Amino acid sequence: MDAEPEYQGPVVTVDSVLFQLIQNELYVLLTQRAYEPFLGEWALPGGYNHRGETTHEALAGVLGRKAGIEYRALPLTMQLYTFDNVARDPRGHTISVTYMSLAHKAVPAGSDTTQNPQFFPVSKLPKLAYDHKDIILYALQRLRSRISHTNAIFALMPEKFTLTQLQTAYEAVLGHKLDKRNFRKRWLALDVLAPTDELAKDGAHRPAALYRFKQRKLQTLDPTFA
Amino acid sequence: MDAEPEYQGPVVTVDSVLFQLIQNELYVLLTQRAYEPFLGEWALPGGYNHRGETTHEALAGVLGRKAGIEYRALPLTMQLYTFDNVARDPRGHTISVTYMSLAHKAVPAGSDTTQNPQFFPVSKLPKLAYDHKDIILYALQRLRSRISHTNAIFALMPEKFTLTQLQTAYEAVLGHKLDKRNFRKRWLALDVLAPTDELAKDGAHRPAALYRFKQRKLQTLDPTFA
DNA sequence: ACAAAAGTGTTAAGAATACACCCATGT
DNA sequence: ACATGGGTGTATTCTTAACACTTTTGT
């Protein structure tokens, strides 16, 4: 980091992998490219990081402008990886700093943007621009790992939820079923859930107790969930 | 990522956290700054990432020029995190992509560089420029986590080593003692070590069997080591 | 009455931990 | 012969995994 007046660096971009559960399935937010390259193809929301703004600010701008989503309302965002695209990007040397966000209900405002933001199930992704498919799969891996030893799942859940909803969220992310009794035993032993005195009455069956997370922020939980 | 001809982005730098074991203690490579800001203070080896070179190439250049270390000889390098320094860096907006490397014996060639590269024990760090102390502590955390479920430790070991040396390496990184019998039982069950038919004779005691890693590349190991 | 999801404990298997003595060598 | 680190097994505890029936509600 010497003094070096005529510095010229790569173009810096940020890309966002925004996950959300819709009907017990994991969805990811994509936008349709309005410019070359990859005009018309689906891609992760992304954009330039200009001098003077943090990557988080750039991310907030991208999500707001391209998908109508308010970044500050997202309960959890974490950095994933920084990719070099020296050769791959048709526009020349860029590096992209990628973030993963989790949301409970982030509604993309397709109307006031040009990029047609939509959620796609992770299991049925369309053809994607760049290497964005790999990025999504990498993000999924990281997400699975995160929910296995932290409370990160809170960011995919509503304020109040039943234990069955929580279990279903895990199953959607992990891609396999879990044992009901073991799951409940574990979570109730963890001391991170608080019972509310409300019940969810949603059908012709016994009502379920509603719980909430004591802390809606990331914390590490020792045990691991399969 | 619209077309945007007058793009001006942040300065992109790379920083390297290079760990090495010296006499059963974990050391990190530092250089002494030859320019403002922080002239004369110790810092992680770092430098600009110019347009057209990958971050890995930039890293190789930095390690070569500032510390006389041949990047290609390092057995393991992984990306750590990308830090925003919009406000913090006195020279303006930079983002730094940080990497952690592990080496067995990387000899800094202090002579042909201006930056006085030296290894410092992680437990006794000097005052560091920027937030480099935090970066090192973060790297250490990641390293501990890595060696707990992968074979990453191979990158800190010589080609051939005794089980006691391997255990000592773990103890140096983790910062606590391990049980000898359990440690050996575990590693021999893992099927990642191959016995050589050589013995290490290094003192007035029974010679130790020398082992090597079957694969000297990163692989995941199911069990976790405390 | 029946359908549908909520709720609840025990047992068995496997993993992790604690622990102490004999062995081979150099001096 | 003694000092030094190398090498080895078992018993106990704890953790994880497997598993089925009763309860409460709406229709």
Q: Is the pLDDT of residue B223 over 90?
A: no
- The confidence band for B3, taking pLDDT boundaries of 50, 70 and 90, is very low
Q: Is the pLDDT of residue A186 over 50?
A: yes
Contact yes or no for B15/B113 (Cβ under 8 A): no
Bridging pattern class, strands B42-43 and A25-32:
unpaired
Contact yes or no for B149/B220 (Cβ under 8 A): yes
A80-110 pLDDT, tens digit per residue, is 999 997 666 666 889 999 999 999 987 777 6
How far apart (Å, rounded) are the C-alpha atoms in residues B119 and B128?
13
Of B85 and B194, more confident: B194
Nearest CA of chain A to the CA of B212: how many Å? Answer: 30
pLDDT reported for residue B214: 97
pLDDT reported for residue A222: 83
Q: Is the pLDDT of residue B104 over 70?
A: yes
Q: What is the mean pLDDT of residues A11-18?
A: 97
Q: Is the pLDDT of residue B39 over 70?
A: yes
Instruction: Nearest chain A residue to B2 by CA: give it.
Output: A35
Q: What is the mean pLDDT of residues A54-81?
A: 96
Q: What is the mean pLDDT of residues B180-197?
A: 97
B57 token code pair? 């190439």
Say whether residue B150 is in contact with chain A using an 8 A CB cutoff.
no
Contact yes or no for B96/B82 (Cβ under 8 A): yes
CA dist B39 → A1, B83, B121 (Å): 11, 21, 22
Provide, in whole angstroms, the distance separating residue B107's CA from nucleotide D12's C1'.
48
How far apart (Å, rounded) are the C-alpha atoms in residues A153 and A222?
15
Contact yes or no for A23/A106 (Cβ under 8 A): no
pLDDT reported for residue B85: 79
Provide, in whole angstroms, the distance separating residue A207's CA from nucleotide D23's C1'.
11
Sorted by sequence, the CB contacts under 8 Å of residue A171 that are 6+ apart come out as: A24, A177, A178
Q: What is the mean pLDDT of residues A184-205?
A: 96
How far apart (Å, rounded) are the C-alpha atoms in residues B191 and B189?
6
Q: Is the pLDDT of residue A2 over 70?
A: no
Percentage of chain B surpassing pLDDT 90?
83
How far apart (Å, rounded) are the C-alpha atoms in residues A46 and B41?
38
Q: What is the mean pLDDT of residues A11-30?
A: 97
How far apart (Å, rounded) are the C-alpha atoms in residues B15 and A144?
29
Bridging pattern class, strands A11-22 and A94-103:
parallel
A200 token code pair? 């969810």
Window A114-173, strand C contacts by Cβ < 7 Å? 162-164
Say whether residue B18 is in contact with chain A using an 8 A CB cutoff.
no
Nearest CA of chain B to the CA of A23: how many Å? Answer: 31
Report chain A's mean pLDDT, rounded to a whole number.
92
Domains of chain A: 11-149 (3.90.79.10), 152-213 (1.10.10.10)
- The confidence band for B175, taking pLDDT boundaries of 50, 70 and 90, is very high
pLDDT reported for residue B108: 76
- Ranges of beta strands (E only) in chain A are 11-22, 25-32, 42-43, 46-48, 76-84, 94-103, 118-121, 193-200, 208-213
pTM of the model: 0.94
Looking at residue B131, its amino acid is D
Q: Is the pLDDT of residue A216 over 90?
A: yes
Provide, in whole angstroms, the distance separating residue B186's CA from nucleotide D23's C1'.
47
